[in-house]
């Protein structure tokens, strides 16, 4: 499986202290994405020009030889064995903190078989499993995954389908249906909403989101509100691609906007947390 990062001491990706596994490849193309290097399923070379010391002879595609790591290979093949070995290094801290492993991406469900195999193995080892996903996937795949994880972190970006297509490249219908399915199955999940001024912080979207979530038979009733930041910009530069090519207006929401959105959720009976 192609993994582009493994992060230890992840404290914003679910309960406790976790190790987060980043799968490469995503069906969505969210304009604000802070991990655009996760879009393609293929390994690629990123170039960070700030680190470059202009060697007389550049290593070029042989990025592993780059002295400064200005050129860096993003995405490497991992065997299940090696990945589990890497994860096991954190067993003590996971157990002591009530943490575990989070599969993230990209979209882990795009790698259904690999993700499922990994989750099953982690389950055999009694590690807590969490999947951070767009839910843009076949409902049967999701059912299979749901049987092998304890918690989902589900991204919900926009309620208006036209806007969803405009900003993410795909329709939200499948996503909304899958959220409903998860709730009806009784699966445990958090909803995570990136908040981007100019895209989805308007009252209509917030009220529609609340309205939708209120119709779900959802026990957890907890949303994480994640204020937008533009780390994606730098990643695009390293990829040699353009950030926000259509020039949409995107801003971090002001504190009072955040505040009133949080209040709106709370008033509607949800637990609303700013940040992961």
Partner 1 sequence: MNFQIKNPENEGGMNERIKRLRQQCFDTPTTLSIERALIETAFYKENYGTMPIAVLRAKNFYEICKKKTIYIGDDELIVAERGPVPKAVPTFPELTCHSVEDLHTLNSRELQRYTISQEDIDTYEKEVIPYWKGKTQRERIFNHVSKEWEEAYHAGVFTEFMEQRAAGHTAMDGKMYHTGLLDVKARIEKKISELDYIYDPEATDKQQELEAMAISCDAAILFAERHAELAEQMAAKESNPQRKAELEKIADVCHWVPAHAPRDLWEAIQMYWFVHLGTVTELNGWDSMNPGHIDQHLYPFYKKGIEDGTLTRDKAKELISCLWIKFNNQPAPPKVGVTALESGTYNDFTNINIGGVDRNGNSAANDISYMILEIQEELHELQPGLSIHIAENTPDEFLMAGLKVIRQGHGYPSIFNPDTYVKEMTRAGKSLEDAREGGCSGCIEVGAFGKEAYLLTGYLNTPKILEITLNNGYDPIAKKQLGLKTGDPRTFTSFQQLYDAWHQQMVYFVNLKLSVNNYIERMFSLYAPATFLSLYIDDCIDKGKDYYSGGARYNTTYIQCTGLGTITDCFTTIKKHVFEDHRYTMEQILAACEKNFEGEEQMRQYIRNHTPFFGNDDEYADSIAVRVYNDLVNAIEGRPNTRGGETHLNMLSTTCHNYFGSVCGATPNGRFAHFAISDGTSPAHGSDSHGPTAVIKSLGKLDQTKSGGTLLNVRFTPALFKRDEDIRKCASLVRTYFKFGGHHIQFNIVDTETLRDAQKHPDQYKDLLVRVAGYSDYFNDMTEQLQNEIIARTENSAV
8 A C-beta contact, residue 132 and residue 50: no
8 A C-beta contact, residue 138 and residue 117: no
3-class DSSP state for residue 205? helix
Q: How far is the CB of 175 from partner 1 (least distance, A)?
A: 26
Q: How far is the CB of 90 from partner 1 (least distance, A)?
A: 6
Query: Between 11 and 80, whose beta carbon lies closer to partner 1?
Result: 11
d(CA 146, CA 143): 5
Q: Which residue of 3, 17, 130, 193 would you call a contact of partner 1, by CB under 8 A?
A: 17
Give the orientation angle of helix 255-267 with respect to helix 203-214, to 10 degrees: 30
8 A C-beta contact, residue 29 and residue 39: yes
**Is residue 8 close enough to count as binding partner 1 by CB under 8 A?**
yes
Q: Which residue of 42, 60, 69, 138 would you call a contact of partner 1, by CB under 8 A?
A: 69
- 215 burial (CB, 10 Å; 0-12 / 13-18 / 19+) is exposed
Residues 161-180 that bind partner 1 (CB under 8 A): none
Residues 190-219 that bind partner 1 (CB under 8 A): none
8 A C-beta contact, residue 238 and residue 47: yes
Query: Between 69 and 214, whose beta carbon lies closer to partner 1?
Result: 69
For residue 130, give the nearest of 44, 35, 228, 15 by alpha carbon: 15
d(CA 73, CA 75): 6
Interface mask (CB under 8 A) for partner 1, residues 221-240, using x and -? ----------x---------
Query: Between 4 and 136, whose beta carbon lies closer to partner 1?
Result: 4
Q: Which residue of 45, 73, 84, 93 would you call a contact of partner 1, by CB under 8 A?
A: 93
Q: Which residue of 1, 2, 10, 63 would you call a contact of partner 1, by CB under 8 A?
A: 10
Q: Which residue of 97, 112, 244, 257 would you call a contact of partner 1, by CB under 8 A?
A: 97
Interface mask (CB under 8 A) for partner 1, residues 26-65, using x and -? ---------------------------x-x----------
Query: Between 51 and 180, whose beta carbon lies closer to partner 1?
Result: 51
d(CA 167, CA 245): 11
Q: Which contacts of 212-215 are long-range, i.e. CB under 8 A and separated by 24 or more positions?
A: 212/159, 212/176, 212/179, 213/268, 213/270, 214/268, 214/269, 215/180
Q: How far is the CB of 265 from partner 1 (least distance, A)?
A: 17
Q: How far is the CB of 231 from partner 1 (least distance, A)?
A: 7
Q: How many of the chain's residues bind partner 1 (CB under 8 A)? A: 23
Binding site for partner 1 (CB under 8 A): 7-12, 16-17, 53, 55, 67-69, 89-90, 92-93, 96-99, 231, 275
């Amino acid at each position: 499986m192609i993994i582009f990062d493994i992060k230890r001491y992840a404290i914003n990706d679910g309960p406790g202290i976790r190790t987060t596994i980043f799968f490469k490849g995503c069906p969505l193309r969210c304009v604000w994405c802070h991990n655009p290097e996760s879009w393609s399923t293929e390994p690629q070379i990123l170039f960070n020009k700030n680190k470059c010391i202009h060697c007389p002879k550049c290593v070029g595609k042989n990025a592993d030889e780059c002295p400064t790591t200005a050129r860096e290979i993003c995405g490497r093949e991992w065997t299940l064995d090696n990945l589990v070995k890497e994860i096991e290094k954190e067993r003590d801290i996971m157990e002591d903190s009530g943490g575990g492993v989070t599969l993230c991406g990209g979209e882990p469900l795009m790698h259904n078989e690999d993700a499922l195999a990994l989750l099953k193995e982690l389950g055999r080892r009694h590690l807590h499993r969490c999947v951070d996903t767009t839910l843009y996937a076949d409902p049967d795949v999701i059912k299979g995954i749901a049987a092998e994880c304890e918690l989902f972190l589900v991204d919900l970006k926009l309620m208006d389908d036209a806007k969803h297509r405009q900003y993410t490249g795909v329709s939200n219908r499948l996503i909304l249906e899958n959220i409903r399915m998860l709730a009806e199955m009784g699966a445990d999940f958090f909803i995570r909403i990136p908040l981007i001024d100019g895209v989805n912080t308007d009252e209509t979207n917030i009220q529609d989101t609340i309205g939708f979530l209120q119709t779900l038979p959802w026990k957890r009733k907890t949303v994480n509100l994640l204020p937008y930041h533009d780390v994606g910009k730098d990643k695009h530069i390293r990829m040699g691609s353009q950030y926000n090519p259509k020039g949409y207006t995107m801003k971090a929401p002001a504190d009072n906007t955040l505040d009133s959105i949080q209040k709106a959720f709370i008033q509607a009976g949800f637990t609303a947390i700013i940040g992961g």
